[in-house]
Structure 1
Amino acid sequence: MTITATSRPHRRLRHVWWIPQVALALAMLGAGSAKLGGEPAMIRMFDDIDTGHWFGYFVDALEVAGGIGP
């Protein structure tokens, strides 16, 4: 009987942690898709740091994977 009483706060806390995780995942997916979509500001950013377009695609893939993954 005391097990259910102590498990309820943990269940609520688990649901509270979903909010920042979903927000971060959406932000990463948005940033990665903007770069993969060829947003001019994002392309200029990688030109400014002189890394080449291959590095931009690599970072984009990592951001999208981070947004999808756990």
Structure 2
Amino acid sequence: MTIIDTTPAPRARGLHRTLWVLQVLLAAFFIVASAGPKLFGEAYAVQTFEDMGAAPWFRYFIGLVELAGGIGLLVPRLAGAAAAGLALLMVGAAVTQAVILHGGALVLTPVVLFVLFVVLAWGRRDSFTRLLKR
């Protein structure tokens, strides 16, 4: 009987750990600093959505999507899908910031987050494909 060694190579372990650190940091950011103000009605978040001309329910919806995405980043089975979903959300955020809010340099925040989420989605693509197979 042959025993197969399934221990990841040191490079793969390093990448796995790096992705986890990035996931935890982004999850914390989205849960606390992004979703929280929208869901709890922080004045700046409310004003931003009013400036966009969006109804209050839309602020809550975006907050819930960000909360779900942040939690999803912490669940190994959902991490790839959560990162892909949050990347798409950042496309909308960048367009909104540039076109509707005329945010200038503020557009860079969702663009940088988009890149980080694409890196995470690519790095966790195995979880995404396993999820699709179910």
> Could you tell me the TM-score, scaled by structure 2's length?
0.46
Structure possessing the higher radius of gyration over alpha carbons: 1
Q: Compared with structure 1, are the counterparts of its residues 8 and 48 closer, same or farther at alpha carbon in structure 2 (3 Å cutoff)?
A: same
Pick 1 or 2: higher relative contact order, CA cutoff 8 A, min separation 6. 1
Long gaps (5+) in structure 2: 73-78, 80-134
Distance 1:68 1:6 in 2: 26
Distance in 1 separating the partners of 2:7 and 2:52 = 55
Alpha-carbon displacement from aligned partner over 1:16-39 (angstroms, at most 9, x marks no partner): 211111111111112101211110
C-alpha root-mean-square deviation of aligned residues, in Å?
1.9
In structure 1, give the amino acid aligned to 2:57. Answer: W
Task: Map Cα deviations across residues 32-70 of structure 1 (whole Å, 9 max, x no partner).
Answer: 012111101100111111111011011001000000012
1:42 aligns with 2:45: yes
Specify the SS of the correspondent of 1:46: helix
Provide structure 1 residue ranges, at least 5 long, that are not aligned to the other structure: none
Alignment partner of 1:58 out of 58, 61, 72: 61
